[in-house]
Structures are given as structure tokens and as C-alpha cells.
Amino acid sequence: MYRWGAVAIVLALAACGESARDALEKARKALAETHYSEAIAAADAGLARKPEAVTSWGLEIVKLEALARSGRGDETLAQLEKLTAAWPDNMLADQFAATADQLRAAGQGGAAVQALDQGLKRFPQDQALLAQIDRAKKAPAPGSDELKMLETLGYIDKK
């Protein structure tokens, strides 16, 4: 009897791991098809299954990109902070730069500047991040959220 119970537990645990991996594949597919809400939902469903580290990281990154591309600035920044705290060795400067690009493309210039600022706090000498800040300084329209954020964070002087 114990043997069958142990087998059932092992199979149930394996199914949970497969389910999280399945959710990751579903999330990646939805992201590739620009179905951002579906990608976020699939990532959340996979994360709820408490997957192992590699699958968890994949789900978190898909969620980050889907949030950014869908223009959900505040949620993207919260996800970026969460990943930086939980996975500091995985969060490299290029992730902050990519997230800023995705936010800017989604019309979230202010949030893009905040993502760059988060990156520069960790990587203050990163040339790609600094270059994006320099480009942002030249691009914003007067009164734009991007300009206000650059001023608020001290990248340009308030006028």
C-alpha cells in the first residue's frame, strides 16, 4: 500500500513540474503572438505551481516582458524590483535596457526612465544604460511623462 502511495505522490509532483513547464511554453507562445494578457495569466498560473528555479525564472521573465510590452508601467517596475531582489545574479544591465525599450515602445516613457534608473543603481558605469538616458534627455516632448521623470530623478535640471 505504501509503495502505491509513494508512486502516486511522485507522479503528482512530476505532473506539477510538467504543468509549470507547460505554462511556461504557453506563456512564451502568447508573448510571441503579442497576446500579452494571456502571457501574464499563463506565467502567473505556472508560478502558482511553485516550479523549480529554471522554470520559475523563465515564467518571471516572460511576465516582465509581457507587462512592459502591454504598457503596464507600474506593474513592470514592481516586477523588475521583485526580480532584482529575488534573482540578483540573473538581473544584468541588458535586462534593464531591454525592459526600458519595451516600455518606451508601449508609450510608457516615464516608466522606461525609471527602469533605466533601477539599472543604473546596480550598474552605474554601464555604457548602454547611460546611452539610453542620454537619448532620453534629447527626445522628450515638453511636459511629457518622460521629461518629468528625468527631472524628478535628477538626470536633467528642472526648468
Query: What single string gives the DSSP state of each residue in 62-127?
Result: HHHHHHHHTT-HHHHHHHHHHHHHH-TTT--HHHHHHHHHHHHHTT-HHHHHHHHHHHHHH-TT-H
Instruction: Assess whether pLDDT exceeds 70 at residue 159.
Output: no
Whether the Cβ atoms of residue 31 and residue 65 lie closer than 8 Å to each other: yes
Please say whether the beta carbons of 39 and 27 come within 8 A.
Answer: yes
Question: Angle at CA 107, nearest 5°, toward 139 and 117?
Answer: 65
Pick from 112, 101, 95, 99: nearest CA to 149: 112
The pLDDT tens digits for 100-137 are: 999 999 999 999 999 999 999 999 999 999 999 998 88
Report how far Cα 16 is from the mean position of its chain's Cα atoms.
24
Helix, strand and coil content of the chain, in percent to the nearest 5, comes to 75, 0, 25
The pLDDT > 90 percentage for the chain reads: 72
Question: Grid coordinates representing 51?
Answer: 516550479
- Taking only the tens place, the pLDDT of each residue in 68-110 is 999 999 999 999 999 999 999 999 999 999 999 999 999 999 9
* Predicted model pTM: 0.83
pLDDT at 7: 40
Structural contact between residues 69 and 99, judged by C-beta atoms closer than 8 angstroms = no
